[in-house]
Amino acid sequence: MTKAFDNYEVWFVTGAQLLYGGDAVVQVDGHSTKMVDGMNESGLLPVKVVYKGTANSSEEVSQVMGAAQADPRCVGVITWMHTFSPAKMWIHGLQKLSKPLLHFHTQFNEEIPWDTMDMDFMNLNQSAHGDREFGHILARMRKNHKTVVGYWKDPATLGHIAVWERVAAAWADAQDMRIIRFGDQMNNVAVTDGDKVEAEMRLGYHVDYMPFSDVLCYFDAVKDEDVDGLVKEYFTLYDHAPALEDSGSLEYRKVWNSAKAELTLRAVLKDKGAKGFTTNFDDLGDYNVEKTGHGFDQIPGLASQRLMAEGYGFGAEGDWKSAALCRTVWFMTQGLEGGCSFLEDYTLNFAGGKSSILQAHMLEVCPLIASARPKLEVHHLGIGIRKTPTARLVFTSKVGCGVTATVVDMGGRFRLVVNDVQCIEPKPLPKLPVASALWIPMPSFEVGAGAWIMAGGTHHSCFSYDITPEYWEDYAEIADIEYLHIDKDTTIESFKKDLRMNEVYYLLNKALK
Ligand code: MN
C-alpha cells in the first residue's frame, strides 16, 4: 500500500451511552478496538484509522469532534453506534465538525448467534437501531456525510471506506492548495473562468497570479549546467531520434529551452509552495525572445507534461479550476496504477456506434496515462504568440475505462460534471505529433456529449483510469456542490429532469440549512 497518506489519519468514534452500565461500555470499547485493528490490518485502507474511544455524552461528543476539527492530521471522522446512542447528544459535536464525516452502519457480530442470543446480547449489539437514531440526526441537521453499510470485514465494505479516505485526504490537501497562474484566462473564454473568492470559500484552494516579469527572475537564476543535466535525463527517460542529441542542432536547442522552462517553473512552484499552475500561450515573456533569449520561446508544454506527472495540477489557458481538480485527482489516486491527466475535447470522429472524441491539447497531456514509453520529439507549433518548434512528449493513452470530470461555475454554485468514458485504440496521427487519448463517452457518443454540453461542461476535463464515480460523489458531498453523473444509464430526458430539479434544489437549499 502506498505511503502517500502516511501523514494523515481518520478518527473512529463509537457512540454509546451509560444506560447499560460501565461493563457494557467496556465491551463496546473492546469490540471497537478489534474492529479498528482489523480494518487497519486488512491492507485495504490507504489512510490509517485511529480509534478515539466511546462517546457517551454530549460533552464527550463535543470534546472529540472539537479535537478532530483542530488536529491537522485528522482528515475525517468515522462514526458507528454499537449501542443505542441518543442522538441529541451528537448535535453540538456535529456542529463543531466541518471535516468529512462517514457514518458506518455495521455490527461487531457478523451473524445472529441463534442458539445463544439473549437480551444482553441485543443490548450490546444495537447498531440496527442505534445507527438509525444517529442517521436521523444527520438528516435532521442536513449534515453532509457518506453512509457506508456492510460488515466491517467485507472487502467491498472497506472499499467504500477506502474511496472516502482518499477523497477526504485530497480534500485536506486542497485546503492549503495554492494555484499559480502564469498569465490570465485566454481572452473571452467563459467556461474556464469563475468566482475565485467563492472557490476558496467552498473548495478550499487559493488562486494567485504571477506576472511574467517575476517569472523571468527565476528564469535568469537557472544555471546552464542544470539545464544540461536535465536534457541528459530526458534522453535517458524517453525514446528519441539520435539527431536530437546533436548539441549543435536546432532540435537540441529547442529541447534545451524546454528544459530551462521546466527548471524555471519548478523553481517558482517550489518557492511559492504551489500545488498547481496554469499557462497561457499569449504570455511567455519578452516578445522578442528569439533574439534576446529572455523568456520562453514557446509554451512550456514539455514542462507542463512532466510537472503534471509529479502531481502538480495543470490547467491550460488560465484554467485554474482544472488545475486544482487535476491536482486533486492526482492526489487521491496516489499509489494506484492507471494514471490521470488534464485533457481537452479536441476533435470529433463520427463512426456510427463507435463515434468518439479525440482528447489532446496543444502539448499538455500527462505521461501517466501513456500506453508505452513516451517519445521526445521536436516539432513546429504555430499556435499563440510564438510560431516556432518546441519539444513535447508524444504517446497515446492506454485502452480501457475511466472517468473524466470538470467543475463549472453556474453563478451562485459550482457544478461538478462527471462522465464515464471508454478509451479505445486510435489510428496513427503522423501529422499530429502530440500526446492523445481517444474515447467514447458513456452511454454513447451522442448522449454522453449531449448531456455534458447541456450541463455546461468545459472542453477541458480531468481524467483518471483509477477512480470511479463514487470518488466524485464523495467529493461533491464533502464540498457541498452540485453533482451530475453521466453514465451507461443516462438518457437525455432524465438528464434534463435532473438539471431542472437541481436548479430548484439549489435555490431552496440555503434556505433549508
Ligand atoms: Mn485548451
pLDDT digits (tens, 9 = 90+) for 409-444: 999 899 999 999 999 999 999 999 999 999 999 999
**Centroid of ligand 1 to alpha carbon of 317 (angstroms):** 6
Nearest residue to 412 (alpha-carbon basis) of 198, 227, 245, 106:
198
| Residue 95 pLDDT class (50, 70, 90 cuts) | very high
| Residue 92 pLDDT class (50, 70, 90 cuts) | very high
**Centroid of ligand 1 to alpha carbon of 311 (angstroms):** 19
**Centroid of ligand 1 to alpha carbon of 466 (angstroms):** 23
**Centroid of ligand 1 to alpha carbon of 491 (angstroms):** 28
C-alpha 410/C-alpha 185 separation (Å) is 17
**Centroid of ligand 1 to alpha carbon of 459 (angstroms):** 7
Q: What is the pLDDT of residues 444-485, one digit of tens each?
A: 999 999 999 999 999 999 999 999 999 999 999 999 999 999
In three-state secondary structure terms, 458 is: coil
| Residue 385 pLDDT class (50, 70, 90 cuts) | confident
What is the DSSP annotation of 116-184? T--HHHHHH--HHHHHHHHHHHHHHTT---EEEES-TT-HHHHHHHHHHHHHHHHHHHHTT-EEEEES-
**Centroid of ligand 1 to alpha carbon of 367 (angstroms):** 17
**Centroid of ligand 1 to alpha carbon of 35 (angstroms):** 48
Contact between residue 330 and residue 471 where contact means Cβ atoms under 8 Å apart: no
**Centroid of ligand 1 to alpha carbon of 269 (angstroms):** 21
Checking if the pLDDT of 292 tops 70, the result is yes
Strand partners, 463: 341, 404
Strand partners, 283: none
- The residue-averaged pLDDT of 355-363 equals 97
**Centroid of ligand 1 to alpha carbon of 134 (angstroms):** 46
C-alpha 11/C-alpha 50 separation (Å) is 5
| Residue 384 pLDDT class (50, 70, 90 cuts) | confident
| Residue 283 pLDDT class (50, 70, 90 cuts) | confident
* Average pLDDT score over the chain: 95
What's the pLDDT score for residue 510? 67
**Centroid of ligand 1 to alpha carbon of 286 (angstroms):** 23
Q: What is the pTM of this model?
A: 0.97
| Residue 2 pLDDT class (50, 70, 90 cuts) | very low
Q: What is the pLDDT of residues 121-160, one digit of tens each?
A: 888 888 999 999 999 999 999 999 999 999 999 999 999 9
C-alpha cell at 22: 460501565
Distance of CA 144 to the CA centre of its chain: 19
**Centroid of ligand 1 to alpha carbon of 492 (angstroms):** 26
Contact between residue 192 and residue 322 where contact means Cβ atoms under 8 Å apart: yes
Task: Please report, as a single letter, which amino acid is at residue 415.
Answer: R
What's the pLDDT score for residue 84? 85
**Centroid of ligand 1 to alpha carbon of 390 (angstroms):** 18
- The residue-averaged pLDDT of 230-254 equals 96
Residues with CB under 5 A from ligand 1 (ion): 316, 344
**Centroid of ligand 1 to alpha carbon of 168 (angstroms):** 29
What's the pLDDT score for residue 512? 66
- Tell me the CA distances in angstroms from 346 to 39, 358, 447, one per residue in order: 44, 5, 18
C-alpha cell at 27: 465491551
**Centroid of ligand 1 to alpha carbon of 407 (angstroms):** 15
